[in-house]
Amino acid sequence: DTAVSQTPKYLVTQMGNDKSIKCEQNLGHDTMYWYKQDSKKFLKIMFSYNNKELIINETVPNRFSPKSPDKAHLNLHINSLELGDSAVYFCASTPALGTNTGELFFGEGSRLTVL
């Protein structure tokens, strides 16, 4: 009974393609995130949504577009993929504003390889 699930787990594609990664959480959390982890294991926040509303949008190329159809889902669509987009992308969630301690609940990650 996975709490935060991401699909696909692995994705290999060519430069210039468009791809999507999906994330779903069954924890009833209000806030969801996308993080990018590079080859040096550094984790960088990309986006955060609170109850379907975008609240954090770090300096990310506009080829990356998050979509949150409801508060349990946060998908990431990437256009015109580049070599530098190769990374592991993590989805995470946290409980509602004002009640959360900052603890994040992570998915298993989606490893994207751009050739």
Partner 1 sequence: AQSVTQLDSHVSVSEGTPVLLRCNYSSSYSPSLFWYVQHPNKGLQLLLKYTSAATLVKGINGFEAEFKKSETSFHLTKPSAHMSDAAEYFCVVSQRGYQKVTFGTGTKLQVIP
Give the footprint of partner 1 on this chain (CB under 8 A).
31, 33, 40-43, 45, 48, 50, 55-56, 90, 92, 94, 97-104, 106-109, 111
In order of 25, 80, 86, 112, the CA distances from 61 in angstroms are: 25, 11, 14, 16
Q: How far is the CB of 101 from partner 1 (least distance, A)?
A: 5
Tokens standing for residue 52: 């379907």
Q: Of the two residues 10 and 61, which places its CB atom closer to partner 1 in the complex?
A: 10
Collapsing DSSP to helix, strand or coil, 42 comes out as coil
Minimum Å gap between C-beta 103 and partner 1 is 6
- Joined tokens for residue 24: 């779903």
CB-wise, 84 or 102, nearer to partner 1? 102
